[in-house]
Structure 1
């Protein structure tokens, strides 16, 4: 039997999250929900009581652009894997990573059939760095140490890295540490929103365990959730993890803007194709008309 196992990272809008889950659930779906530890879990638990929905126990305080999002994802993957190994050991599945501001852009039946036909594959939209779609090719994310909140305290990063360079401690910077310890490793970027089969999940979690230094190195990069997972997966032996480089998630950015746009009806009409399974981002307070459009015109 084949299952879809959703992992959803959320921090706000319990009503919208409940609506998302209702669109995803069927008899062959499980949902694991990570609620940011800064948010009230009670607000979500009182509202979301559907069967086959589980709240991740090891919650993390998440800050955009930091390793906290990687840790929240890892914790969620571990709990999903352990549950599947315990109760559905003979079944195959994909783990589908979503945010609480996502929506499906295909029916649950379509998504199930689409992924069931690709059980030997993991689906990730990725690229090797440097990448023209990222400012400075994305290399600035590795060439400096990021410790403080990069949004509220950018000046502290600048001062810290200036001091490190001035005293000749550049070997502490993530890119230099990576070259020193893993000279053969290539760095990739990707969409955070991945679809991984059990082979990829196993390899990823094993690599994290075997190579704790990689976690230490990526911990001090900027937005590591968009580099850590794909870079570790690409470390696999040839053909051990089969990855299809495909864009299943509709996410639209303006230039090198780090924050994705809220989707419009025009975006959906122009961008959706047969491989577009999900879209980001939606908010009842921002583009409710687009949420209604998806429910009425696309999913009904």
Structure 2
């Protein structure tokens, strides 16, 4: 049995190349969605790596827009259409990096098959950010005066209700889920266009749509381990997590997590090499 990674990338070709090389393993396939605004030629070396598949029909991904979900679903379609059977499929960004050797990651998902690794935020946090969901947002649409028009639309329309009387659930968009669970989510979305249309006009739909589907299903919700296995530093309380550097290595090691985000070689050029050295020391 194999595992797979869906990787949403938009910049830093050398960094993506290093990530893919670190994930290389006979039982691992990587499916890369490259933002349509990125130059594909700059990523040519990564595209020629074995067991790496770049997703056709690239789309422009807008932060907090449904386009992030669409890129994920397009990638998932390719992965699930392959003739391979996956124990687990993990969603990563091109700015993520593993904190464990890849053979250990493969062994972990082999041992823990039947578990769904998903970050779930407390109900109070969902309630505190409900305006992301029950108000209209048009993050994928770009035009002058958009936010002025959006404010008036939301003033003149009632609060939106979650379709199918589901309870909104959210958390980090980055997950590690079984193929069976993801097939269920994909088929659900294909069969429930009103659900898709609802989330198309939310803010940060990628942080809610899979969570809401899974946690409102009695069978799949029982299999959820409320840990997405990622080390992410939100201590700065900004819209995006901290860019990790050498000073963060001790906390990464102590976290026991399997992946970390986010890294940027334009800011810390040698950071991934330092993580590699840490991994090599760990297996000696």
TM-score (norm 2): 0.90
Q: What secondary structure, in the 3-state scheme, does the structure 2 residue paired with 1:6 have?
A: strand
- For residue 153 of structure 1, report the CA deviation from its aligned partner: 8.1
Give RMSD over aligned pairs: 2.3
Distance 1:43 1:244, change over 3 A: same
> What does 1:153-168 correspond to in 2, within 5 Å?
156-165=146-155, 167=156
Give the conservation status (yes or no) of the 8 Å contact 2:62–2:139: no
- For residue 288 of structure 1, report the CA deviation from its aligned partner: 2.4
TM-score (norm 1): 0.86
CA distance in 2, matches of 1:113, 1:148: 39
What is aligned with 2:179? 198
Q: What secondary structure, in the 3-state scheme, does the structure 2 residue paired with 1:127 have?
A: coil
- For residue 80 of structure 1, report the CA deviation from its aligned partner: 0.4
Picking from 108, 111, 124, the partner of 2:105 is 111
> What does 1:176-187 correspond to in 2, within 5 Å?
176-178=160-162, 181-183=163-165, 185-187=166-168
What is aligned with 1:141? 132
Give the conservation status (yes or no) of the 8 Å contact 1:144–1:161: no
Distance 1:277 1:47, change over 3 A: closer
Q: What secondary structure, in the 3-state scheme, does the structure 2 residue paired with 1:188 have?
A: coil
Q: What secondary structure, in the 3-state scheme, does the structure 2 residue paired with 1:287 have?
A: coil
> What does 1:126-137 correspond to in 2, within 5 Å?
126-131=120-125, 137=128
Could you give the per-residue CA deviations for residues 54-95 of structure 1, whole angstroms, max 9, x where no partner exists?
111132110111000000001101110111xx2x3xx44211
CA distance in 2, matches of 1:256, 1:182: 33
Distance 1:93 1:276, change over 3 A: same
What is aligned with 1:231? 212
Could you give the per-residue CA deviations for residues 223-274 of structure 1, whole angstroms, max 9, x where no partner exists?
1101111111123233577211114111111354211111133333124347
What is aligned with 1:261? 242
Picking from 241, 262, 266, the partner of 1:281 is 262
Distance 1:107 1:220, change over 3 A: same
Structure 2: stretches of 5+ with no match in the other structure: none
Distance 1:217 1:82, change over 3 A: same
Deviates more, 1:40-49 or 1:55-64: 40-49
Distance 1:240 1:269, change over 3 A: closer
Structure 1: stretches of 5+ with no match in the other structure: none
Give the conservation status (yes or no) of the 8 Å contact 1:250–1:272: no
CA distance in 1, matches of 2:149, 2:122: 29
